[in-house]
Structure 1
Amino acid sequence: MLTLPAAVPSMGTRRVVFLPTVANIEAITLTEITAGENISCYLTRAGGWQPTNDQASVQDGRYCSAQDFEQPGTESRSLTIQYTFNLGTPTADEARLALEKGTTGILVHFLQIDQDEDTFAVGDWYEAVPVTMGIQSVMGVEDNAVDRIQQKAFVTGPWTEFKQLVAGG
């Protein structure tokens, strides 16, 4: 009999926090994340977190073979985010204000957080990306849509994957 591994729904189980700095990107503390700007509910479900990646091939053609081989080449990662904004309530417009063009920091993307949870805990899984924020581009008007900004987050350091929050301050 075929046994399927358990799957975890992604809808509603992701969070994103912006941090100006961290002591160790591979061991972000609960204190650091709590002090950050939680922009999770500003990001849109469609297009809110849009990572892309690519890896080039190094051609490895040998004189003694009619077959060309490959070796892994350079890696490239990119990130675009999309979020809502509200100019009428600037104090409730944290994403737009925190992510102004030229701002540097760390975007921390949490995975598999219970959808009813609005706090973080030691052991929560994340990936973290050091970024410099690009220009904020207001999206065009669409039927049945809210005002949104699309923005490139220029990746400025290694993309840290599958780490867990740690205790400490």
Structure 2
Amino acid sequence: MAEIPSTPYDGNVRAALVPTVADVNAPTAAELTSGIDISCYLTGDGLAITVDQQTISDERLCSTSTFEKRGRKTHSVDVTYVDNTNSVAHAAFNEAREALDEGAVHYLVTRRNLPYETAFEAAQVVRVYPVEAGFPAEVPGEANSVTRTTSKLFVTGDPGIDVAVAAGV
């Protein structure tokens, strides 16, 4: 069997909160760079995106088996980020906490498998989630840690999944 290469996760993920995207299935690089890059605010395990797909039961009179079909999907996003509220870093380095006040509306854009520093460009594959921020909850403090906050981001519409960044503005 051929050895299959892999891409490290650390340092190869970018996450941004964008104010507007005309088409979640064809976002432009200009749209994606118009927001707040929250990648360096998120903790190492602080970007939790999941999908749960329901099952449609398909029973038939002629069979002793119950078949299944794909049902509705529920996309969920939870983020955990560094919170510098009231610290000496507050004024310059608290964008994630300020942007994620309860009720704030954004598009969360994620990109994997390119170095974090690489700018959004046409043809890159991204995911675009229209979201509304939930209540920012303080993460309980612990020794040898930093101050963190967690927020549920409610997905409010159909996301663009694995879509190419469009050329143009």
**TM-score, scaled relative to structure 1:** 0.91
Distance in 2 (CA, whole Å) between partners of 1:44 and 1:164 is 26
Q: Is contact 1:113–1:124 with CA below 8 Å preserved after alignment?
A: no
**Who is 2:7 aligned against?**
8
Distance in 1 (CA, whole Å) between partners of 2:115 and 2:6 is 14
Question: How far 1:6 moved relative to its partner?
Answer: 2.7
**Who is 2:94 aligned against?**
93
Deviation track 1:77-102 (CA, whole Å, cap 9, x = no partner) reads 11101100112223311101111110
Question: Size of the alignment, in residue pairs?
Answer: 166
Distance in 2 (CA, whole Å) between partners of 1:72 and 1:80 is 24
Q: Is contact 2:24–2:159 with CA below 8 Å preserved after alignment?
A: no
Question: How far 1:118 moved relative to its partner?
Answer: 5.0
**Who is 2:144 aligned against?**
144
**Who is 1:161 aligned against?**
161
SS at 1:96 equivalent: helix
**Who is 1:73 aligned against?**
71
Instruction: Give 5+ residue unaligned stretches, structure 2.
Output: none
Query: How do 1:7-46 residues align onto structure 2 when only pairs under 5 Å count?
Result: 7-46=6-45
Q: Is contact 1:112–1:125 with CA below 8 Å preserved after alignment?
A: no
Distance in 1 (CA, whole Å) between partners of 2:23 and 2:63 is 47
Question: How far 1:138 moved relative to its partner?
Answer: 0.9
Amino acid aligned to 1:151: S
- Which runs of structure 1 show a deviation greater than 3 angstroms over 4 or more consecutive aligned residues? none
SS at 1:59 equivalent: strand
Q: Does 1:82 align with 2:83?
A: no
Q: Is contact 2:12–2:112 with CA below 8 Å preserved after alignment?
A: yes
Distance in 1 (CA, whole Å) between partners of 2:38 and 2:57 is 42
Q: Which moved more, 1:90-99 or 1:147-156?
A: 90-99
Distance in 2 (CA, whole Å) between partners of 1:86 and 1:23 is 32
**Who is 2:109 aligned against?**
108
Q: Is contact 1:58–1:73 with CA below 8 Å preserved after alignment?
A: yes
Instruction: Give 5+ residue unaligned stretches, structure 1.
Output: none
**Who is 2:130 aligned against?**
130
- What's the Cα RMSD here? 1.4
Amino acid aligned to 2:156: T
Distance in 1 (CA, whole Å) between partners of 2:52 and 2:30 is 34
